[in-house]
């Protein structure tokens, strides 16, 4: 259900009935020559649609800006500070609670938002302990990702415009992918990048961290379907105890 399509005369009763709000959150940032700068938004939106269909949740308007400090100097990237993002997520959560929602599910398409989402969830818990706040980023996909991956990852944690993320897009939003422009760029990411602030232009000129040419919709489907199943299980589990 699309929240912004509701009207104020009827929405209160629906909130009381369905109780769950899903917020897609992404980012605007460089994703190589073959993917749009809104990639993370498209992924978050398509994931949210599929999860909402099976949980009876409302889908809120997408929050399209994220913390992209590492890529903020690439053309097209728009960066929002963690502090701003925490405040915005917290304020949205407060409004949802006061409107009668019992659960706030943030479905994230951008790794850089993780810190802000967790901190906002903590603040909401401190304010309203009975308000369930979930922050989800492709949960439980490590094993299946390793099974479908053909090219070694450039980094143990990062995946970006590479075989994996491009496969996600080919499965969820293929109309935005130009595989004719896909490239291979497997940069040497220094260990210091894990312990020090490191703008990505120090180790990549393309913002691609892997072999985008190895991406397929079939790979994306295998991983994404596991993520969706895990999201649904986590949401259903969090319903326990809601009054």
- Tens of pLDDT, residues 11-54: 999 999 999 999 999 999 999 999 999 999 999 999 999 999 99
In this prediction, residues 99-105 reach a mean pLDDT of 97
pLDDT at res. 157 = 79
pLDDT tens per residue, range 172-202: 999 999 999 999 999 999 889 889 999 999 9
Q: Is the pLDDT of residue 148 over 90?
A: yes
Span 3-238: which CATH code?
3.40.50.10310
pLDDT at res. 193 = 87
State the pLDDT confidence band at 241, using cuts at 50, 70 and 90: low
Q: Is the pLDDT of residue 156 over 90?
A: no
Element housing 138 (H / E): none
Contacts 24+ apart (CB under 8 A), 1-4: 1/52, 1/56, 1/57, 1/58, 1/59, 2/58, 2/59, 3/58, 3/59, 3/60, 3/61, 4/60, 4/61
pLDDT at res. 158 = 83
Give 52's DSSP letter. H
8 A C-beta contact, residue 98 and residue 12:
no
């Amino acid at each position: 259900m699309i929240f912004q399509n509701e009207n104020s005369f009827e929405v209160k009763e629906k909130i009381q009935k369905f109780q769950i709000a899903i917020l897609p959150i992404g980012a605007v940032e460089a994703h190589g020559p073959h993917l749009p700068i809104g990639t993370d938004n498209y992924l978050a939106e398509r994931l949210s649609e599929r999860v909402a269909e099976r949980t009876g949740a409302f889908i809120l308007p997408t929050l399209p800006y994220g913390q992209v400090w590492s890529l903020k100097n690439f053309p097209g990237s728009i960066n929002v500070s963690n502090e701003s993002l925490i405040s915005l997520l917290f304020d949205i959560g407060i409004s949802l609670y006061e409107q009668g929602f019992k659960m706030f599910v943030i479905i994230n398409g951008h790794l850089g938002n993780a810190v802000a989402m967790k901190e906002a969830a903590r603040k909401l818990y401190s304010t309203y302990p009975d308000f369930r706040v979930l922050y989800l980023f492709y949960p439980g996909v490590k094993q299946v990702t390793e099974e479908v991956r053909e090219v070694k990852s450039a980094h143990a944690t990062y995946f970006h415009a590479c075989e994996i993320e491009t496969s996600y897009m080919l499965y969820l939003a293929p109309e935005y992918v130009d595989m004719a422009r896909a490239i291979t760029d497997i940069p040497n990411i220094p260990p210091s990048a894990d312990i020090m602030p490191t703008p990505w232009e120090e180790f990549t000129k393309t913002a691609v961290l892997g072999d985008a040419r190895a991406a397929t919709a079939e790979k994306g489907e295998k991983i994404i379907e596991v993520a969706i199943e895990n999201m649904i299980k986590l949401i259903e589990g969090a319903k326990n105890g809601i009054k």
